[in-house]
């Protein structure tokens, strides 16, 4: 069963960073986010990874820095925590019924979309 993958852009990153950090902390937040993608093993400038970091940071610069460091080590960690929290916690690598998997995937997708669209 496939999980949906958000199609996001750099404009989404800028919009969410502004929403979560405001104009007074926007520059600092973007500087922190820019640290991801400069390493040869990371995905250069991936808006998906940066949005995952923003979601997990929840408007806190210290958390933004912490999750950016995690993303630099392995982007999959922040993707799973931000986009698939229920699936990761309840299903993970276990064998569970398809209806449980489907419910987790749908709940995760709805939660992510609500967060992304929030004003």
Residue 40 has pLDDT above 90, yes or no: no
**Per-residue model confidence (pLDDT) at position 55:** 98
**Per-residue model confidence (pLDDT) at position 95:** 74
What is the rounded average pLDDT of the residues 9-38? 96
d(CA 28, CA 1): 39
Residue 99 has pLDDT above 90, yes or no: no
Tens-place pLDDT, residues 44-59:
669 999 999 999 999 9
Does the reported pTM lie above 0.85? yes
Q: What is the residue extent of each domain of the chain?
A: 10-117
Residue 93 has pLDDT above 70, yes or no: no
What is the rounded average pLDDT of the residues 85-107? 84
User: Is residue 46 within 8 Å of 9, Cβ to Cβ?
Assistant: no
Q: Is 12 exposed, middle or buried (0-12, 13-18, 19+ CB in 10 A)?
A: middle
């Amino acid at each position: 069963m496939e999980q949906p993958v958000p199609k996001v852009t750099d404009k989404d990153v800028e919009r969410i960073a502004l929403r979560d950090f405001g104009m007074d902390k926007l520059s600092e937040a973007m500087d922190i986010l820019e640290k991801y993608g400069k390493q040869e093993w990371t995905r250069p400038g991936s808006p998906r990874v940066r949005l995952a970091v923003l979601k997990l940071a929840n408007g806190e610069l210290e958390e933004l820095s912490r999750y950016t460091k995690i993303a630099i080590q392995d982007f999959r960690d922040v993707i799973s925590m931000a986009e698939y929290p229920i699936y990761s916690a309840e299903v993970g690598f276990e064998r569970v019924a398809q209806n449980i998997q489907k419910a987790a995937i749908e709940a995760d997708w709805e939660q992510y979309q609500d967060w992304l669209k929030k004003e």
